[in-house]
A and B are shown apart, each in its own frame.
Chain A
Amino acid sequence: MTTATLSPRKLQMSVIGPILALVILIILGALMNPNFLSAGNISNVLSRSAFIGIIAVGMTFVITAGGLDLSVGSMAAFVAGLMILVMNTALPVMGVGIPIVLLGMAVALAAGLIAGLLNGLLITRLGIEAFIVTLGSMGIYRSLVTWLADGGTLSLDFTLRTFYQPVYYGGLFGVSWPIIVFAIVVICGELLMRSTAFGRHCAAIGSNDQVARYSSVRVARIRLLTYVMLGILVGVATIMYVPRLGSASSATGLLWELEAIAAVIVGGTALKGGFGRVWGTVIGVLILTLIGNILNLTDLVSPYLNGAIQGAIIILAVVLQRERKPGQ
């Protein structure tokens, strides 16, 4: 099954399925509102896809290796809260400038790494189900951010926020930074998945970890690395997220974990592991973001039904690639 998908046969439904869904959505959007294809709207959609997108790339590796991480949304909220606290505390000493922003970024990356490492260690060393470990850490991080914010909202100091803002709103040659960082993460992820031993080991562990172990793949270490990598990417996403509104609260990153997992699956990665596709994940993220964008740009359906439309399109996008299991 897996080898059939990997072989270079042309025009497989599993490959064109997600692309087809994306193209249909883009055509629909363009027909409904002339502003849909404007540079401003495209830039908005891509920038807001970046948070979930960066996280979803990491999630692709975790799921490919047969794991799951439900804690990423809470983790992002916690890392954002911690980053804001540290930057506000350091402000009187360091003043507004590049060093304090770099400090904030370092805190985010380190916090993400440690959080991912903790998840990974509990899963691989203690052998607890990934679902349970990350369900637990999801609750822990969500409570911690509420506690840090004293039930309210943590806000970055105003002058600091103004200084840091270009990291979300600015860019190079008219392309905003979140889009650039997202693109770099995707390219690295795609190379890592396709052309390195790490990527192949992830797939091997996901399809059968016993066989992988007998083939001298260091199963526990590879699995641990996927969670650490996801943690770091949550840190990267947070670095892009904080300058947008300069605040974090218990409502930050709510349901991001489900959106990231949905994007990975819509993109053609197998939920049970063994096969992963980073570029597919990108398509998945774009599909999810575009649905919300198109619904906002039109009055076609009652806003109460937005969730239903989203659900239907997610299922449809997966139905379109059903050919992947011809034996059934």
Chain B
Amino acid sequence: MKRILSALALSTALVTPAFAQDTQVIGVSIPAATHGWAGGMNYFAQAAITRLEETYPELDFVLATASDPARQVNDIEDMLATRNISALVVLPFESEPLTGPVQNVANAGVWVTVVDRGLSVDGIEDLYVAGDNPGFGRVSGEYMASMMPDGGDIVVLRGIPTTIDNERVAGFEEAIEGSGINILGMEHGNWNRDTSFEVMQDFLSRHSQIDAVWASDDDMAIGVLAAIEAAGRDDIQFVLGGAGMKEMVQRVMEGDTMIPANVTYPPSMIATAIEVTALGVVSQTPVSGEFIIGSVLVTQDNAEQFYFPDSPF
């Protein structure tokens, strides 16, 4: 094992002789691409690492993707034990199981950046980068209210029952309060196209007049649109998704009346976290604190800035 490690060190030394003495390693631990958003996040993590390795030859990155929390814990322990990382960027699979292991990393004197899902104990991380879930719901709700000044009847598709979903829905409900918009029904579409297709079919059987749909996610919006199209219903004026999937942003850009807008929850926030962490490692720029990435309303006017044709999401 020792021989392999020294061989590795030797090969690194040969590739980058000038900086071999003070190469710093940044570990990046993220969930595997198990759904669309996570796929985008993996893509942006790779892209950021490629860019940074070119820009800063003195930086080395270790990227590990885990398909469950237990594997992510193993990844992080391995990084600390064998790769001698000086900073860790982690998007926890789940808050609870990852809190202890990440705390150990922090106690070892390693810089810790936590992304999107917070840990269950405060003050472990040096930097926290996250999206704004209540804001995501609020922006969506405000848009709905502005599109339906006289009120109307809507149905809502929710994600997988989690804090993220609860915060979004709470923000949404707060924003539409007093606007005359009436929620006919809410069901969980689990951020899944097939489930949302079936849930929307049943909503359509149940309610003869629906004015608009808050699908709250672009994967769910695709299922909803297919169900509406198949039923041949024309009472629904528009569907509002969210998260900024490229196909949907494209439809916004082209002025599709069924998809007039989108609300971002960018998977590229992982790139923000990696870039800022790298900046802190290579320079004396202070980067500790919180970095909350706001949810932005995407309409036809600004859609072009949010369209990334190369991203898988």
Whether chains A and B associate is yes
Q: Which residue numbers of A lie inside 8 Å of B, CB to CB? A: 33, 35-36, 38, 40-41, 44, 48, 146, 149-153, 155, 169, 244-245, 247, 249-252, 254, 292-293, 296-297, 299, 303-304, 306
Contact call A249/B202, Cβ cutoff below 8 A: no
Instruction: Known pairs A38-B205, A297-B206; list 4 more (Cβ under 8 Å).
Output: A245-B222, A254-B192, A293-B202, A297-B202
Report Cα–Cα, A40/B200, bound state, in Å. Answer: 13
- For residue B222, which residues in chain A have a CB less than 8 angstroms away from its CB? 245, 247
Looking at the complex, which one of B161, B203, B226, B312 makes contact with A149 (CB distance below 8 Å)? B312
Neighbouring A residues of B199 by C-beta, 8 Å = 296
B71 at the interface (CB under 8 A from A): no
Q: How far is the CB of B292 from chain A (nearest CB, A)?
A: 25
Contact of B223 among A151, A169, A245, A296 (CB under 8 A): A245
Selected from B38, B188, B198, B205, the residue in CB contact (under 8 A) with A151 is B38
Residue numbers in A under 8 Å from B230 (CB-CB): 169
A-B contact list, 6 entries, CB within 8 Å: A35-B205, A41-B205, A48-B198, A152-B40, A245-B193, A247-B193
Within the complex, the shortest CB–CB distance from A171 to chain B, in Å, comes to 12
B188–A303 touching, CB < 8 Å: yes
Most central of B34, B42, B247 by chain A CB within 10 Å: B34
User: Which one of B185, B188, B205 contacts A44 once the chains associate, using CB atoms below 8 Å?
Assistant: B205
Q: A245-B197, A296-B203 are in contact. Are A146 and B36 (CB under 8 A)?
A: no
Across the interface, name the chain A residue whose C-beta is closest to B197.
A245
Contact call A296/B32, Cβ cutoff below 8 A: no
CA distance A36 to B202 in the complex (A): 9
A40 with B205: CB separation less than 8 A: yes
Residues of A within 8 A of B203 (CB): 296
> Is B78 an interface residue, CB under 8 A from the partner?
no
Please tell me if the beta carbons of B201 and A44 are within 8 angstroms of each other in the complex.
Answer: yes
**A150 & B193 in contact (Cβ 8 Å cutoff):** no
Closest to B207 in A: A35
Which single residue of chain A is at the shortest CB-CB distance from B231?
A40
Output the nearest chain B residue to A154 by Cβ-Cβ distance: B312
B247 and A155 contacting across the interface, CB-CB below 8 Å: yes
Q: Which residues of A contact B192 (CB under 8 A)?
A: 251, 254
Report the minimal beta-carbon distance from B76 to chain A, rounded to whole angstroms. Answer: 21
User: Closest CB of chain A to B288's CB: distance in Å?
Assistant: 31
Q: How far is the CA of A242 from the CA of B61 in the complex (A)?
A: 39
Top 7 A-B pairs ranked by shortest CB distance? A151-B33, A152-B312, A151-B39, A296-B202, A152-B39, A41-B205, A35-B205
Q: Does B214 contact A (CB under 8 A)?
A: no
Contacts of B35 in A (CB 8 A): 249-251
Q: How far is the CB of A227 from chain B (nearest CB, A)?
A: 25
User: What B residues does A150 contact at CB under 8 A?
Assistant: 33, 39, 43, 312
With a CB–CB cut-off of 8 A, which chain A residues contact B311? 152
B residues 39-67 in Cβ contact with A at 8 Å: 39-40, 42-43
Q: Which of A155, A249, A252, A303 contacts B187 (CB 8 A)?
A: A303
Interface residue? B136 (CB, 8 A): no
Nearest chain-A residue to B192 (Cβ)?
A251
Tell me the complex Cα distance, A38–B43, Å.
Answer: 46
CA distance A146 to B31 in the complex (A): 13
A244 touches B34 (CB 8 A): no
Residues of B within 8 A of A149 (CB): 39, 312
Q: Does B194 contact A (CB under 8 A)?
A: yes
Which partner residue on chain A sits nearest B312 by CB separation? A152
CA–CA, A27 and B32, complex, Å: 44
Taking CB atoms, residues of chain B closer than 8 Å to A303 are 158, 161, 186-188
Cβ of A138 to closest chain B Cβ, rounded Å? 13
Report which of A41, A146, A244, A252 forms a contact with B197, defined as CB distance below 8 A: A244
List, in ascending order, chain B residues with CB within 8 A of A292's CB. 198
B32: chain A residues within 8 A (beta carbon): 146, 151
| Alpha-carbon distance between A153 and B223 when the two chains are bound, in angstroms | 13
Q: In the bound complex, do residue B226 and residue A151 qualify as a contact, i.e. CB atoms below 8 Å apart?
A: no
Could you tell me if A304 and B36 are in contact, using CB atoms closer than 8 angstroms? no
The answer to whether A250 touches B194 (Cβ under 8 A) is no
B313 at interface by CB-CB < 8 Å: yes
Report the Cα distance A320→B42, complex, angstroms.
Answer: 49
CA of A182 to CA of B161 in the docked complex: distance in angstroms? Answer: 33
A contact residues around B161 at 8 Å (CB): 303-304
Query: Nearest Cβ in chain B — how far from A297, in angstroms?
Result: 5
Assembled-state Cα–Cα distance A254/B192 (Å): 10
Residues of A within 8 A of B34 (CB): 146, 250-251
Residue of B nearest to A292 (CB): B198
**Complex: A221 Cα to B266 Cα, angstroms:** 53
Q: Could you tell me if A245 and B185 are in contact, using CB atoms closer than 8 angstroms?
A: no
Q: Name which residue of chain A comes closest to B42, CB basis.
A: A151
Per a CB cutoff under 8 Å, which of A151, A153, A296 touches B43? A151
Minimum CB–CB distance for A174 against chain B, Å: 14
- A155 to B39, alpha carbons, bound, how many Å? 14
Q: Taking A297-B202, A303-B186 as contacts, is the C-beta distance between A251 and B33 under 8 angstroms?
A: no
Chain B residue numbers with a CB within 8 Å of A254 are 192
Cβ–Cβ < 8 Å partners of A244 in chain B: 194, 197, 226
Q: Name A44's closest neighbour in chain B (CB-CB).
A: B201
A254 and B193 CA atoms in complex are apart in Å by 12
